[in-house]
Amino acid sequence: PLRKIERKGESNLVDRSKTTKNLTPIGRVDPNGFAELLGTEVDEEDVAGEPVGGKAASKATRGSTPSATNSGATANPKTTTTATPKGSVSASGWLSWPKLCWHNALCAVFICLIAVSAGGGAFAYFSHGSDSLLPSIAVPDATALPTERVRAETASAVLRPQYQPSPVEREWARLVAEVDPRECQHAWSNGSRLMARLERDVASSAVFEQSSSFTVGPESQGAALVWPIEPLVSFLRWPAALSPGHTTRAAIMNKSYYQLAPVRAGSRRFLFFDIGASLYSSARAGGDGGSSLRWFRNRYQNLTGSPQPFDHIYAWEGQEYNATVLWDSFPAQVVPFVSYYNVRADARPNAKHNPLRVLTQVARLDDHVVMKLDVDHQATQVALIQQVLGNRRISALIDELFWEHEVAGSAMGCPRLWKGRSGHGWSTMRFDTSQGRGGTLAESYELFGRLRSLGIAAHSWV
């Protein structure tokens, strides 16, 4: 496996899910079956000189409200409700997105009828592969992951969010597919097709104003629920990175543009899977040499309003740590909720430390699951993503995914473009760019598109 060249960083981290509405804690049912979208406060460590918005720090993006500080604009994408005909999804939360189940009594009757009439064949839908956007990428033994422990809720009605890419995302996907960059110095230099498009979209604010979106319940009773997600553009980092005035390391590590998915009210549990976890407290949360565990806990504390947002954390880290050093990095109040495996994640189906095998053993459809994948090893990461794409039983369990996909053709491979030092970023990594291996920027677009098409709110992690 490739060693980490550097730890991941960020600057001026601001959730774009800020709202002034009252919180509906996880476990309670709000009028729309959701917890309200809440944003994060701007931590002092999160602000490092990059504006949140497009053209300037004082420019709020669409649907945003200006910050009371000088840290820039904080977007305010609200969950939208749209009246729809009567159907299967109640606005009162009787069925909840995205893992929806009939009311307990009806669900039991429904399941029994399926069991009597169809036997095991009723469950086949949840294990067959996805078939769009990247058929050339093979899915080796994806269905070999555990599917025999199909729980009763798997047979219930499952309605996944429908993904709608924005016009700017569609145009970027076409452009990247046409250019198909395999190196970065010329592909992202001034005057190139990619840079010309980037500068135009940043100048017009299109990359900030044209959010893609998820919709659930178009056939529902009462209302359809719509929420935004950042579009896939540029080299899948902060959209303004590399544009004039933003050729810095702080720009490429900026997470301010993430538009997080709403956390469902009434979820049985909130589970977090961190694959490539590092220590809990090291440097800045989510920063260089810093902890993704702490960063995610901070963000979801603000999103949910709970001091302990995750009911359980499952973490894998291949770098060996002294046990005392490892556990001393965790706050005492977090330790009871953590299963930390100080071993490399194993992508072989059914392997003891395949995180997706563990996921299928511990998670249910009525759990809210967030996963982060960043192990800096192309083969391992792509194999795990292929298993998610190839097994509906697995993809149906994941609500939100953060993945740093290291590929050829990204500006991350040329640190001079963003004032990085030699050896930083992905400059020393080597990629398999053969068709179907997931090693190019064009294939990264396709893989993220497929994940989103399955109803997973997939973000490009830094």
Asked if pLDDT for residue 335 goes beyond 90, the answer is yes
Q: Given pLDDT bands bounded at 50, 70 and 90, which one contains residue 416?
A: very high
Which two tokens mark 123? Answer: 């469950």
Phi (first) and psi of residue 293, to 5 degrees: -55, -50
Instruction: Tell me which range, 35-39, 70-74, 316-320, is most confidently predicted by mean pLDDT.
Output: 316-320
Q: Can you tell me whether residue 318 is helix, strand or coil?
A: coil
Minimum mean pLDDT range among 86-95, 105-114, 226-235: 86-95
Q: Kindly report, residue by residue over 348-358, the tens digit of the pLDDT.
A: 999 999 999 99
How confident is the model at residue 123, as a pLDDT? 29
Q: Kindly report, residue by residue over 154-198, the tens digit of the pLDDT.
A: 333 457 899 999 999 999 999 999 999 999 999 999 999 999 999
Catalogue the E-assigned strands of 278-345.
312-316, 338-341
How confident is the model at residue 218, as a pLDDT? 54
- Rounded Cα gap, residues 434 and 170, in angstroms: 24
Q: Given pLDDT bands bounded at 50, 70 and 90, which one contains residue 283?
A: low
What's the mean per-residue pLDDT of the chain? 74
Measured between its terminal Cα atoms, the distance across the chain in Å is 19
Asked if pLDDT for residue 443 goes beyond 90, the answer is yes
> Could you tell me which residues come within 8 angstroms of residue 142 by beta carbon, excluding any fewer than 6 positions away?
129, 349, 386, 387, 389, 390, 391
Phi (first) and psi of residue 371, to 5 degrees: -130, 140
The one-letter amino acid code at 268 reads R
How many CB atoms neighbour CB 145 within 10 A?
A: 22
Nearest Cα neighbor of 435 from 141, 167, 68, 182 is 182
For the entire predicted model, the pTM comes to 0.70
Q: Kindly report, residue by residue over 187-231, the tens digit of the pLDDT.
A: 999 999 999 999 999 999 999 999 999 998 755 456 788 999 999
Minimum mean pLDDT range among 36-45, 111-120, 386-395: 36-45
Which two tokens mark 190? Answer: 């001034």
Phi (first) and psi of residue 169, to 5 degrees: -70, -40
- Rounded Cα gap, residues 144 and 148, in angstroms: 10
Q: Can you tell me whether residue 328 is helix, strand or coil?
A: helix
Residues 56/62/65/66 CA torsion (nearest 10 deg): 10
Q: Kindly report, residue by residue over 130-142, the tens digit of the pLDDT.
A: 333 343 333 344 4
